[in-house]
Structure 1
């Protein structure tokens, strides 16, 4: 299934992994919001934790068709995601993301905190105020 990606941390423009993974490999990058999630600070990078009432800000990234398969594999490695893996840091899930420009809902891949990490963050984590990673370091 070819879908855009919703990025909210180190893959955002101006952050350390944007140029390494996304520069020259995208058709578009536009501001978006992920409803139903709260952004938490992590060790060097953020985690989106699914929970009612929150919103996470980021970018909706559409990959160039020829770059998509390789990019998907690289992002899975970067995010520590293996389908069904018991040690995943993140799970890659399909969620509705809202385009900032017009509020249109778009189905996109989102890396959210894996269940054990999400439970730990809910219990002891520090939410990122306003749900936007920029400036949190």
Structure 2
């Protein structure tokens, strides 16, 4: 299924990985929010961790159709995600993301902390209370 991506950290416009991975490969990039998650500092990059009551801000990115397959592979590599691999740092899951412009919920791929990583972050990680990587400091 060719879902858009919800990006919340270094893939956001103006951040280091946006230029390397998304520039020239997207049809649209729209502000949005993901509910039911909180944000932790990696450090240097964030992790979204599933947590009721939390909200993370980011962009809903729709890839150009002709770039989708290559972009999916590139993002999986960036996020250290291989389907079914217990060593994953992130898991790519389907989530409902709310577009800021109209409040519509859109199904999207989101990279969230893998279970072992999430447990470590909950125990001793640095929570980004704003839920916004761009205003973390």
TM-score where L is the length of structure 1: 0.98
DSSP 3-state at the match of 1:17: helix
Deviations 1:25-46 (A, max 9, x none): 0000000000000001112100
- Counterpart-to-counterpart distance in 1, 2:136 and 2:12: 13
Q: Which runs of 4+ in 1 moved over 2 A?
A: none
DSSP 3-state at the match of 1:101: coil
DSSP 3-state at the match of 2:32: strand
Corresponding residue of 1:132: 132
Instruction: Map residues 3-14 of structure 1 onto 2, 5 A cutoff.
Output: 3-14=3-14
Corresponding residue of 1:15: 15
Q: Does 1:35 align with 2:28?
A: no
> What are the ranges of 5 or more consecutive residues in structure 2 without an aligned counterpart?
none
Corresponding residue of 2:92: 92
Deviations 1:6-56 (A, max 9, x none): 000000000000010000100000000000000011121000000100000
Q: Which has the higher helix share?
A: 2
Superposed CA RMSD in Å reads 0.8
- Counterpart-to-counterpart distance in 1, 2:14 and 2:135: 11
Count of residue correspondences: 137
Q: Does 1:113 align with 2:110?
A: no
Shift in Å, 1:136: 3.3
Deviations 1:62-95 (A, max 9, x none): 0000000000000000000000011100000000
Shift in Å, 1:130: 1.1
TM-score where L is the length of structure 2: 0.98
| Larger displacement relative to structure 2 (125-134 or 14-23) | 125-134
